[in-house]
């Protein structure tokens, strides 16, 4: 999701010791959810939904107890479970503390299917409301862990599964969901059944449905993948115009990163708490993203980048969410750079840099912040803008060729899988042949950034540069480009900053007119003025 647009709207020891995060979700690594079939019955008379979910479970060892998340009824909201079946017989289960806990009866089969029947009114996760045009609507809005309000599931990204939605709703609705449409059939009494199926494994955070009145258009077909726009009929032409750029973005990422994982790419105007939500193959954009002015290109690029980073290569722990949001932030910038040139990259990074500095003054924490236990609190300027800046610095350090080779290898290795920061580091080290431990350690696991005071003078054909790092908790080590300006011409020299106080001589025959630090926006530091 895009935090910049969200904020604009509402004012979105050794390295190894730090590579495992604080994420407190109780993972059950002996159980692998293979597939969900979510049967949902929606109606216009009330906000109560009826569900029948089939869960195919692989037991990696002997069948053992496991749990599914589902918020229990408490007052007006929550779910009541009426039946749980193991294959064709009654399951041995309890339903307490918002978890359906199942003890398998069958001790032989490694794969078993469980069926959960339930009903209730979801407080979150499934947004049942009206559109800005007053039309009743149902939108899945699961990020980060709200699927449990309406879908029995392992509601954490470490266990991804293929998914099918079987949605029965009044026949005046248009129905969209994760996956490819497999069926649309009129039923009795004015209802319609619509089935979507996604064979690629998907985390619950990015599973979704959209049920309301839509206008839809096929935008393009790229590598056999349909790219489409789904917008409210009341602003159909503006929406199609705004969302058409998705095809260009999609083509760029396929070409530069690797193959796309999902059955389609639908771009959907929706009710969402976010500026955009990167649901797998079915992206939701906030209702007022449709203007007809084609101003949402950066948002679209950010959310489409997530299809590779966050959706397909998915963080295994919430504390490593920069692998999703930092990547989407920087790959949006890379796309904009490819279309509008390097000046656009520098403009975007300069904006992000100032936001990083402002955020740090109030929230001095690292990108991978092990103190955070609530996934709703992992999103910040650190995980978005600073995470993007780390990738920008890594790209400059390795060079474009090695950087892109590393990115493609990383994605190929972890496509449709899970990843931690350590895995990304190892891949970039393997491709580059460099030891990147200190780079990753200081930029991701140490709070803050270099805060520099500096001055210079010229004598004996040398620029004498004095640099002092003001932050007291850490001495950062980093390359710094020095822009030497003479008669309107810019010459770049690179120095290595590795001390708290440093004097560096740079040979140059002529006295410069001025000196500029990092003129091309490659290093994250805060210029605190002259010494």
- The confidence score (pLDDT) of residue 9 equals 33
Distance of alpha carbon 100 from alpha carbon 84, whole angstroms = 9
Contact by Cβ (8 Å): 367, 386: yes
- The confidence score (pLDDT) of residue 99 equals 98
Q: Which residues pair with 417 in a beta bridge?
A: 313
179: left (phi over 0), alpha (psi -120 to 50) or beta: left
| Beta strands at 489-497 and 451-459: parallel, antiparallel or unpaired | unpaired
Q: Which residues pair with 260 in a beta bridge?
A: none
Distance of alpha carbon 429 from alpha carbon 431, whole angstroms = 5
- The confidence score (pLDDT) of residue 18 equals 40
Distance of alpha carbon 192 from alpha carbon 205, whole angstroms = 26
- The confidence score (pLDDT) of residue 110 equals 92
The position carrying tokens 């350090």 is 397
DSSP state, residue 73: P
Q: Which residues pair with 480 in a beta bridge?
A: 495
- The confidence score (pLDDT) of residue 7 equals 42
CA–CA–CA angle 376, 382, 387 (5° rounding): 115
- The confidence score (pLDDT) of residue 62 equals 87
Domains along the sequence of the chain with CATH: 3-10+313-445 (1.10.390.10), 28-213 (2.60.40.1730), 451-530 (2.60.40.1840)
- The confidence score (pLDDT) of residue 16 equals 35
Q: Which residues pair with 276 in a beta bridge?
A: 285
275: left (phi over 0), alpha (psi -120 to 50) or beta: alpha
- The confidence score (pLDDT) of residue 13 equals 31
* 3-state secondary structure string across 294-326: CCCHHHHHHHHHCCCECCCEEECCHHHCHHHHH
Its pTM stands at 0.95
Which residues, at least 6 apart from 161, have a Cβ–Cβ distance to it below 8 Å?
A: 33, 34, 35, 36, 56, 154, 201, 202
Distance of alpha carbon 187 from alpha carbon 168, whole angstroms = 9
Contact by Cβ (8 Å): 398, 474: no
Whose CA is closest to 449, among 475, 468, 479, 481? 475
Written as tens digits, the pLDDT of the chain (531 aa) is 764 444 433 323 333 334 444 799 999 999 999 999 999 999 999 999 999 999 999 999 889 999 999 999 999 999 999 999 999 999 999 999 999 999 999 777 899 999 999 999 999 999 999 999 999 999 999 999 999 999 999 999 999 999 999 999 999 999 999 999 999 999 999 999 999 999 999 999 999 999 999 999 999 999 999 999 999 999 999 999 999 999 999 999 999 999 999 999 999 999 999 999 999 999 999 999 999 999 999 999 999 999 999 999 999 999 999 999 999 999 999 999 999 999 999 999 999 999 999 999 999 999 999 999 999 999 999 999 999 999 999 999 999 999 999 999 999 999 999 999 999 999 999 999 999 999 999 999 999 999 999 999 999 999 999 999 999 999 999 999 999 999 999 999 999 999 999 999 999 999 999 999 999 999 999 999 999
Distance of alpha carbon 47 from alpha carbon 427, whole angstroms = 48
**94-104 in b/e burial notation, b at 16+ Cβ within 10 A?**
ebeebbbebeb
- The confidence score (pLDDT) of residue 394 equals 98
- The confidence score (pLDDT) of residue 2 equals 66
Distance from chain centroid for Cα 334? 16
Structure tokens at 407: 């990115």
- The confidence score (pLDDT) of residue 17 equals 37
Structure tokens at 34: 């293979």
- The confidence score (pLDDT) of residue 107 equals 76
- The confidence score (pLDDT) of residue 10 equals 32
């Amino acid at each position: 999701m895009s935090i910049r647009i969200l904020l604009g709207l509402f004012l979105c020891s050794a390295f190894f010791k730090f590579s495992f995060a604080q994420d407190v979700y109780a993972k059950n690594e002996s159980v692998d959810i293979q597939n969900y079939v979510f049967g949902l019955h929606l109606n216009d008379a009330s906000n109560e939904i009826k569900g029948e979910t089939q869960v195919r479970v692989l037991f990696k060892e002997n069948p053992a107890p496991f749990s599914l998340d589902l918020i229990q009824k408490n007052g007006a909201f929550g779910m009541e479970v009426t039946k749980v079946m193991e294959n064709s017989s009654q399951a041995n289960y309890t339903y307490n503390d918002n978890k359906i806990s199942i003890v398998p009866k069958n001790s032989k089969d490694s794969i078993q299917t469980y069926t959960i029947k339930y009903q209730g009114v979801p407080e979150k996760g499934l947004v049942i409301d009206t559109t800005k045009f007053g039309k009743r609507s149902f939108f899945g809005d699961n990020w980060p862990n709200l699927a449990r309000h309406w879908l029995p599931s392992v509601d954490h990204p470490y266990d991804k599964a293929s998914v099918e939605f079987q949605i029965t709703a009044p026949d005046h609705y248009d129905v969209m969901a994760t996956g490819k449409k497999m069926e649309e059939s009129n039923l009795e009494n004015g209802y319609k059944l619509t089935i979507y199926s996604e064979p690629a494994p998907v985390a619950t955070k990015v599973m979704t449905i959209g049920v309301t009145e839509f206008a839809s258009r096929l935008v393009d077909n790229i590598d056999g993948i349909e790219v489409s726009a789904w917008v409210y009929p009341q602003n159909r032409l503006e929406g199609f115009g705004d969302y058409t750029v998705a095809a260009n973005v999609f083509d760029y990422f396929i070409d530069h990163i690797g193959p796309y994982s999902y059955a389609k790419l639908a771009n959907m105007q929706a009710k969402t708490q976010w500026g955009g939500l990167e649901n797998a193959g079915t992206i939701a954009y906030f209702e007022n993203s449709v203007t007809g002015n084609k101003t949402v290109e950066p948002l679209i690029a950010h959310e489409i980048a997530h299809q590779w980073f966050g959706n397909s290569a998915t963080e295994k722990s919430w504390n490593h969410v920069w692998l999703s949001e930092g990547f989407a932030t920087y790959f949006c910038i890379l796309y904009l750079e490819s279309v509008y040139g390097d000046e656009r990259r520098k403009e975007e990074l300069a904006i992000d840099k100032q936001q990083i500095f402002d955020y740090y003054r109030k929230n001095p924490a690292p990108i991978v912040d092990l103190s955070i236990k609530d996934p709703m609190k992992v999103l910040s300027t650190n995980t978005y803008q600073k995470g993007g800046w780390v990738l920008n610095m890594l790209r400059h350090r390795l060079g474009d060729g090695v950087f892109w080779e590393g990115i493609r290898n990383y994605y190929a290795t972890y496509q449709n899988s899970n990843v931690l920061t350590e895995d990304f580091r190892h891949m970039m080290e393997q491709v580059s042949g460099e030891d990147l431990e200190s780079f990753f350690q200081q930029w991701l696991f140490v709070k803050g950034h270099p805060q520099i005071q500096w001055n210079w003078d010229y004598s004996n054909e040398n620029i004498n540069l004095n640099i002092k790092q003001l932050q007291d908790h850490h001495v950062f080590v980093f390359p710094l480009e020095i822009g030497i300006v003479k008669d309107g011409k810019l010459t770049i020299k690179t120095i290595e900053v590795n001390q708290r106080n440093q004097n560096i001589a740079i040979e140059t025959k002529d006295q410069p007119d001025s000196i500029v630090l990092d003129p091309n926006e490659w290093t994250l530091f805060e210029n605190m003025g002259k010494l």
